[in-house]
Amino acid sequence: KHNDLILGLVIAFLFFLLVFLLYRNINNKRIYRQKYEELMTKGKSARVEERQITSVIADINQDKIKSLLKQLEKFEKDDKFLEKDLTSSKLAVVFGTNAKYLSKIIYHYRGKKFVDYINDLKVDYLISLLQNDKAVRKYSNKALAEEVGFSSTQRFTNAFFARTGMPASFFIQEIKKDEMTDIDENIGF
């Protein structure tokens, strides 16, 4: 009788654990789907949310700020952020300034720390690529990370989740589902 009681409690515990995990999985998918829909509706907006140039950074010359902002725009437009192992020091050398000034300007005008700024640019680029290129949707996370210049798969998955609120695999699944729905609607199903 004692063993039957223990067995019953273990089975009940496993049942409730299974129900909890199932509920959590369904809830996460619902949340991911909401985030996916939000991302797709605002998806056509600009890559980087720029702040208005109304205030100045006290210790940096205004001409230097304008020059660096123009260089940043060209950097973004030419997709130079895809370079692997890009650091603020390397970019500062290319821009002819120092890393401290560059980081301050990015933080002030882009509203992000340097690493977040670069990661967000990479993720936004990848989202666009996934939407437009079916072949890329078949890539593994490791291949996707290499495609946009992340140094590791873990950094990529963390950056993608931080930017979108969902895993890359879920995003790709949803794009495929939406594509199949569009095909079915065009055929008349």
Burial of 69 (0-12, 13-18, 19+ CB in 10 A): middle
Tell me the C-alpha to C-alpha distance, in Å, between residue 1 and each of 5, 9, 10, 104, 170: 6, 12, 14, 70, 47
The helix-helix angle for 168-187 and 2-42 (nearest 10°) equals 70
Torsion of Cα atoms, 183 then 184 then 185 then 189, to 10°: 160
Average pLDDT over residues 12-40: 92
What is the pTM for the complete model shown? 0.76
The predicted-structure confidence for 51-62, as pLDDT tens digits, reads as follows 444 456 667 788
| pLDDT band at 187; cut points 50, 70, 90 | low
